[in-house]
């Protein structure tokens, strides 16, 4: 019962961003706190970029223990927190923060969730060659984490838009942060190159908005480029299976859809919040 759950001692975690009303995070974290008997609560607050300086002060003043930043705050958060995890530093974005005695550390768990989702599907990223289509927020986070976790090569494709330069920037940063990883950036319009790069890759990833509603009838990969021993992952989680994932299943590929990445990035955040594993199986059973 709420009046017994929330007391004077209850520590607060929060989601900051705009909009936040649709987020599943409050339900997932409040379920987990209750399930583990932890005296914490999680609330969402609609905060825009111009409110961030005040929000950071409020987190410290009110001793908010930690939480998440979502759109449009992930990049500005990286400039305002006191410390950054190694991945957050390279990515230049923060989706998780932990407040320890007034010092806020920013982390990025999207890439951790991506790598864990592969692992849950029996795929170890170490030594693998990835072809990643996309260079936005999700793409950059997973590219950096894959490199830090020992992938052997990354071939990044993006269309000719403002994100292309971000891919080149990621390649440059990884040359220092993960010098053993071979990183190339190619235009998505070069379909012959895409076909050739997929041909000797282990893992193909779509990290663009294509596949997501209203682009859910589209895929950026010609099904003839796929083969049964290729692992195919998507960051898109709505729909649960994108056209790319469905095409890959038809060919017999092992697949890792975006819902798992979403779940595991949230579970990684929970571990940073409370130092315990999230009760993932219990939450999935509750959610089903
Ligand atoms: P973003 O806006 O930062 O990046 C968009 C990307 O899509 C860019 O690479 C852009 O070039 C590409 N793109 C846009 N229109 C295109 C088109 N017509 N053709 C080819 N490429 C195009 O977006 P984001 O935040 O990185 O999100 C990308 C997807 O990943 C979304 O579906 C989002 O919901 C999902 N996502 C999933 C998770 C997860 O945990 N599973 C986490 C973050 C984002």
Mean pLDDT, each 10-residue run in order, the chain (288 residues):
86 98 96 97 98 98 98 97 96 97 98 98 98 97 98 98 98 97 98 98 98 96 98 97 98 98 97 97 92
If you take atom 33 of ligand 1, which residue's CA is the nearest one? 236
Decide: 18 and 68 in contact? Cβ < 8 Å: no
Helix (H, G, I), strand (E, B) or coil at 186: strand
The predicted pLDDT at position 4 comes to: 81
**Residues 92, 98, 104, 105, Cα dihedral to 10°:** -40
If you take atom 25 of ligand 1, which residue's CA is the nearest one? 137
**ipTM for the complex?**
0.99
Helix (H, G, I), strand (E, B) or coil at 179: coil
Predicted structure pTM score: 0.96
Residue 123's contacts (CB-CB under 8 Å, 6 or more residues apart) are 203, 231, 254, 256
* Encoded tokens for 55: 């929000």
Instruction: Mark whether 74 is an active-site residue.
Output: yes
* Encoded tokens for 76: 């500005």
The predicted pLDDT at position 1 comes to: 67
- The active-site residue out of 74, 129, 173, 243 is 74
Instruction: Report the atom number in ligand 1 closest to the C-alpha of 164.
Output: 11
Compute the distance from residue 249 Cα to the ligand 1 centre, in Å: 22
The predicted pLDDT at position 231 comes to: 98
Instruction: Report the atom number in ligand 1 closest to the C-alpha of 163.
Output: 11
């Amino acid at each position: 019962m709420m009046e017994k759950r929330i007391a004077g001692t209850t520590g607060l975690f929060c989601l900051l961003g705009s909009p936040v009303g649709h987020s599943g995070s409050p339900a997932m974290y409040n379920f987990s706190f209750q399930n583990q008997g932890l005296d914490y609560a999680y609330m969402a607050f609609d905060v825009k970029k111009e409110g961030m300086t005040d929000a950071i002060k409020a987190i410290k003043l009110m001793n908010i223990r930690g939480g998440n930043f979502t759109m449009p705050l992930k990049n500005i958060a990286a400039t305002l927190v006191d410390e950054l995890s190694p991945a957050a530093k390279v990515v230049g974005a923060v989706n998780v923060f932990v407040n320890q005695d007034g010092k806020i550390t920013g982390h990025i768990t999207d890439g951790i969730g991506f790598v864990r989702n592969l692992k849950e599907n029996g795929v170890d990223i170490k030594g693998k060659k990835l072809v990643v289509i996309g260079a936005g927020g999700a793409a950059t986070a997973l590219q950096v984490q894959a490199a830090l976790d020992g992938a052997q090569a990354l071939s990044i494709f993006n269309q000719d838009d403002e994100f292309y330069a971000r891919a080149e920037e990621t390649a440059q940063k990884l040359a220092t942060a993960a010098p053993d990883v071979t990183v190339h950036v190619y235009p998505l319009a070069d379909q012959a190159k895409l076909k050739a790069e997929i041909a000797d890759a282990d893992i193909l990833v779509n990290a663009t908005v294509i596949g997501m509603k209203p682009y859910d009838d589209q895929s950026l990969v010609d099904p003839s480029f796929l083969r049964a021993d290729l692992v195919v992952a998507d960051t898109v989680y709505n729909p649960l299976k994108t056209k790319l994932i469905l095409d890959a299943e038809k060919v017999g590929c092992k697949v890792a859809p975006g819902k798992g990445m979403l779940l595991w990035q949230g579970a990684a955040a929970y571990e940073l919040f409370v130092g315990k594993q999230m009760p993932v199986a219990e939450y999935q059973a509750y959610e089903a």
